[in-house]
Amino acid sequence: MNRVLLSLFASLILITNNMAQGLNEIVLDQNWLGKIEFLAPEETSWDYEKKKKVLVFSLHTGFEHWVIPHTEEMIKILGKKSEAFDVQGSKDISWFEKGQLDQFDLVVLNNTCSISDHRNLFWDQLNVLSNADSVTLMTKAMELESNLINYVKNGGGLMVLHGAITTQNNSPEFSKLIGGSFDYHPPQQEIRIRLADPNHPLVQAFPVEGFSHVDEPYFYKNAYENLDFTPLLYFNNSEIRDQREGQEKTEGRTYAAWIRVEGKGRVMYCSPSHNAQSFENPDLLRFYLDGMQWLVGDVE
């Protein structure tokens, strides 16, 4: 079986690249890019010994967030302007073959939404690229997921942005790694985002009262119930309208960003943002850059 899998999926690398080259890509507005370059921090909040390598993985098989290319460019701008990160983007799942991620200090999952019902991005893509039987495909998909989890446990950094929490949404192991799974979201609306601990180093970019922006308020399930993470940002449930009938939350809070340690590695989840306009907030750009520094170990 291992020899068959090796032969099958080695041949898929070229196919994946060819498919990616054939996609209709969104042409980003140069004025918007210039604005983000202007607003991005000129230097990091903390000193660092060497430039770190970052992979922004932007493949989606499910819902396509229009902000995917904007998010990738935003991360690249943060890395280039601060001179702290060398960032490259990809949609090629061969990066998740054993040992490949070790080339990077940080992996960013950029709205890597999967398809119902499997809710397994690797399965989705392998199923498109191959006519192998379902057992073979699922075995390979589980292997790629395990490689990602082990990458983090062995010291890698993982940043999960917005819809990327659905990457392996039915996987208990992935849910534990991230700190939760996606449940549902009400319609986009103005959300007041507040600081879980105004004294935490990673939220110093924001004013103590937090900030407002238009986004999808995400609700979570599975490992989220354990709250096995350090919360950074949240919204009050009572302020969210059009919640799912019969599941309305009128009290308490839901976290919109958090961090956690897994083995020797670090994970950060950040729900903001569904819209490119939110990146026009320089405080949010600083928050992302600070988070990247924490993920690669530049700051405790």
Q: Is residue 122 part of a domain?
A: yes
When pLDDT is cut at 50, 70 and 90, the band that residue 37 belongs to is very high
What's the rounded Cα separation, in Å, for the pair 154 and 24? 36
Q: Is residue 224 part of a domain?
A: yes
Residue recorded with tokens 């904007």:
70
Check whether 50 has a pLDDT greater than 90.
yes
Check whether 4 has a pLDDT greater than 90.
no
Summarize pLDDT for 132-187 with one digit per residue, the tens: 999 999 999 999 999 999 999 999 999 999 999 999 999 999 999 999 999 999 99
The mean pLDDT value for 7-24 works out to: 37
Task: Using the CB atoms, write b or e for 101-117: b if 16+ within 10 Å.
Answer: beebbbbbbbbbbbbee
The mean pLDDT value for 25-33 works out to: 84
Predicted pLDDT of residue 117: 84
Q: Is residue 223 part of a domain?
A: yes
Look up the CATH number of the domain holding residue 10: 3.40.50.880
Q: Is residue 42 part of a domain?
A: yes
Q: How many domains does the chain have?
A: 1
Q: Kindly report which listed range (17-21, 46-50, 269-273, 279-283) carries the lowest average pLDDT score.
A: 17-21
Q: Is residue 300 part of a domain?
A: no
Q: Is residue 195 part of a domain?
A: yes
Summarize pLDDT for 275-286 with one digit per residue, the tens: 999 999 999 999
Q: Is the dihedral of CA 11, 13, 18, 24 positive or negative?
A: positive
Check whether 243 has a pLDDT greater than 50.
yes
Residues 67 and 87: beta-carbon distance below 8 Å:
no
Predicted pLDDT of residue 25: 58
What's the rounded Cα separation, in Å, for the pair 106 and 86? 10
What are phi and psi for residue 49, nearest 5 degrees? Answer: -85, -35
Check whether 94 has a pLDDT greater than 80.
yes
The mean pLDDT value for 16-39 works out to: 70
Closest by CA position to 109, among listed 172, 65, 142: 65
Give the domain range for residue 265: 2-295
Which token pair is 245? 């009938």
Element (H, E) at 47: none
Half-sphere exposure of 165 (CA within 13 A, CB side): 31
What's the rounded Cα separation, in Å, for the pair 216 and 211? 15
Element (H, E) at 135: helix 134-153
Check whether 49 has a pLDDT greater than 90.
yes
Half-sphere exposure of 117 (CA within 13 A, CB side): 0
Residue type at position 156: G
Predicted pLDDT of residue 150: 98
Check whether 298 has a pLDDT greater than 90.
yes
Summarize pLDDT for 179-236 with one digit per residue, the tens: 999 999 999 999 999 999 999 999 999 999 999 999 999 999 999 999 999 999 999 9
